[in-house]
Amino acid sequence: MFCEQCEQTASGQGCHQWGACGKSPEVNALQDLLIHCLRGLSQVALKARELGQNTHEADVFTCEALFATMTNVNFSTKSFTEYIGHAIALRESLKAQLQPIEWSDLANFTPDFEDDLVQQGKDIEYEFISKSASNVDIFSLKLTVTYGIKGLASYAFHAQELGQEDDRLYAFCHAALAAINRQDLSLDDWVNLALKVGEMNLRAMELLDAGNTGTYGHPTPTVVPLNAKKGKAILVSGHDLKQLGELLKQTENTGILVYTHGELLPAHGYPKLKQKYPHLYGHYGTAWQNQTKEFAKFPGPILITTNCLMPPHESYINKLFSVGPVGWPGVTHLPSPNLIPDYSPIVQKALEMPGFVEDGELRQVTTGFARNAVLSVAGEVIEAVKRGDIRHFFLVGGCDGAKPDRNYYTEFVEKVPKDCVVLTLACGKFRFFDKELGDIGGIPRLMDVGQCNDAYSAIQIALALANAFNVGVNQLPLSMILSWYEQKAVAILLTLLYLGIQNIRLGPTLPAFISPNVFKLLSQKYNLKAIATPDEDLAACLG
């Protein structure tokens, strides 16, 4: 197998024997086969779109299928076999609606479902690598585009669940997928395509922001209990607000309390989730890599809506449920007809399980500092900067992970001087989210902007500040200290580069799929750098 799409890739070079995430070579081969089939589907969908044919089913399916291939989402051979079958069926159904056309080999490729699909996936993977690897830099950019598209597709998938869609996004996903096999594009073309992924990802995050705020209201600063409350309980993990909202609706008046886990913490900031459903009680646990301990202890069923799912232990697998693109053999998957699963098996499980037998010691944290909340105090923030009370802003955001070198981010936040403000987002914040950093004249020194996709909100805050000070974003007293792990972070990084944001510090290690030349190019153009030590980086940012 060959996979180097995430930060924990084996030895920082690529997973070859078995995924460090727990992905088997079989699943990896089926994912590669699925991507290959999606490229063929993309060619046909592009043509169909050009001829005015409705491609909506193929559009949404492409996003979901790409999402399923992201790190820590789906580990089920059965699920990928079904996705492959569906990709071919959708492609053929689109073709059938068009006049006869001479299709390419890619658009005609159909795996032999009677034969070993895993071996066919391995053959496809070998062919792709051997055709592309002769030019290391172009290969690097092809992978960057592929991984960025996966992140973009995941956000587009969530946005459409909330009724927000843009045909340009779907058309771009198909165009980029169809381009991956092209041999005629130059290095510059590939760099531009990677930046285009960033541009389109900004649109995807904008749509998702519109979906989230349009459906659940603008987040407001909200105190969230971190302790347990006596009673039956359900835990919801992942990123999907729509599925959390549906589960809350279906658990109303059952007496069951619902807890968020991981990237769903910011859900508490949305008025139409927290205020509408008082049984959305609190947040349980920390970042994804601690789930094997945290899930084992949780006394109720657990719903996984997206990444990051780790290989479940036998001790708790039977209380896990998955929806959407998520899958693990042996975990109960709830089908989603019209995007809304029937959550009664989870309710039933919660009622059977003990729940929390006593209240835990009160601990809490505040979330909900999305763009509306921050910009509502923009005047005070600007005055505080002008008076010199606030010297600098740090956006310390991104993914968490198990490696000890991620302690950099905790140490960085601890060492941020008292006259500086830290904005944070995504699951990396769990290293420091409950630290009491105090405030500067009533403005909190640590503000949780939200999930990884709320990078959109952070961008809007930065643009508004730049506008207020009449400078460009790069001239603001703002430094971005980012941590990456999976492909959503790749998409967000490409968005920031597309926006021309300079001086980003990236860690804990640089992506294995970025070749030295491509990194050199990005550092020359954007001054993108690897993190050093918290002291060195702080000194450089404040200097």
**Contact code string over 197-216 relative to ligand SF4, x by CB under 6 A:** --------------------
Angle between helical axes of 25-50 and 56-68 (0-180°, round to 10): 160
* Minimum distance of ligand SF3 from residue 213's CB (angstroms): 18
| Piece of the chain touching ligand SF4 by CB under 6 A; list 3-11, 110-118, 314-322, 335-343 | 3-11
How far, in Å, CA of 490 to CA of 485, rounded?
8
**Which is nearer to ligand SF3, 124 or 241 (by Cβ)?**
241
Residue 344: count of CB within 10 angstroms of its CB: 11
**Which is nearer to ligand SF3, 29 or 427 (by Cβ)?**
427
**Which is nearer to ligand SF4, 300 or 508 (by Cβ)?**
508
Q: Site for ligand SF3 (CB under 6 A): which residue of 32, 59, 486, 537?
A: 486
Q: Among ligand SF4, ligand SF3, none, what binds residue 488 when CB lies within 5 to 8 Å by partner kind?
A: ligand SF3
420-479 residues in contact with ligand SF3 (CB under 6 A) are 426-427, 451-452
Query: Going by DSSP bridges, is the β-strand pair 233-237/257-260 parallel, antiparallel, or unpaired?
Result: parallel
Residue 473: count of CB within 10 angstroms of its CB: 18
**Which is nearer to ligand SF4, 19 or 219 (by Cβ)?**
19
* Minimum distance of ligand SF3 from residue 50's CB (angstroms): 35
Find the helix or strand (DSSP H, E) in which 379 lies.
Answer: helix 378-387
244-303 residues in contact with ligand SF3 (CB under 6 A) are 262-263, 288
* Minimum distance of ligand SF3 from residue 534's CB (angstroms): 21
Q: Does 399 bind ligand SF4 (CB under 6 A)?
A: no
For residue 113, report the phi and psi dihedrals to the nearest 5 degrees.
Answer: -70, -15
Alpha helices in 425-515 (DSSP H): 455-469, 487-498
| DSSP state for residue 231 in the 8-state scheme | B
Q: Among ligand SF4, ligand SF3, none, what binds residue 497 when CB lies within 5 to 8 Å by partner kind?
A: none
One-letter identity of residue 454: D
Q: Site for ligand SF3 (CB under 6 A): which residue of 399, 446, 493, 541?
A: 399
> Environment class of residue 410 by beta-carbon count within 10 Å: exposed (0-12), middle (13-18) or buried (19+)?
middle
* Minimum distance of ligand SF4 from residue 287's CB (angstroms): 16
* Minimum distance of ligand SF3 from residue 354's CB (angstroms): 28
First-residue to last-residue Cα distance in the chain: 46
**Which is nearer to ligand SF4, 143 or 235 (by Cβ)?**
143
* Minimum distance of ligand SF4 from residue 75's CB (angstroms): 10
Token representation of residue 540:
């450089």
How far, in Å, CA of 49 to CA of 58, rounded?
11
| Piece of the chain touching ligand SF3 by CB under 6 A; list 74-82, 145-153, 291-299, 481-489 | 481-489
CA angle 404, 408, 414 (to 5 degrees): 125
Q: Site for ligand SF3 (CB under 6 A): which residue of 489, 510, 518, 541?
A: 489
**Contact code string over 20-59 relative to ligand SF4, x by CB under 6 A:** xx-x------------------------------------
CB proximity list for 188: less than 8 A, separation 6 or greater? none
**Which is nearer to ligand SF3, 71 or 251 (by Cβ)?**
71
How far, in Å, CA of 299 to CA of 291, rounded?
14
* Minimum distance of ligand SF3 from residue 6's CB (angstroms): 9
Q: Nearest-CB residue to ligand SF4?
A: 19
* Minimum distance of ligand SF3 from residue 157's CB (angstroms): 14
Known binding residues are 3, 6, 15, 21, 239, 263, 308, 399, 427, 452, 486, 488
Cis bond before residue 444 (omega within 30° of 0) = no
How far, in Å, CA of 305 to CA of 396, rounded?
25
Give the DSSP per-residue string, 267-317.
Answer: GGG-HHHHTT-TTEEEE---SGGGHHHHHHH-SS-EEE-SS-PPPPPHHHH
Give the DSSP per-residue string, 130-144.
Answer: HHHTTSHHHHHHHHH
**Contact code string over 468-487 relative to ligand SF4, x by CB under 6 A:** --------------------
One-letter identity of residue 179: A
Using alpha carbons, list the distances in angstroms from residue 124 to 11, 38, 142, 175.
Answer: 24, 13, 16, 20
Largest interatomic CA distance in the chain: 72
**Number of residues lying near ligand SF4 (CB under 6 A):** 12
* Minimum distance of ligand SF4 from residue 184's CB (angstroms): 29
Which residues would be at the binding site for ligand SF4 (CB under 6 A)?
A: 3-6, 8-9, 15, 19-21, 23, 71
Binding stretches for ligand SF3 (CB under 6 A): 239, 262-263, 288, 307-308, 399-400, 426-427, 451-452, 485-486, 488-489
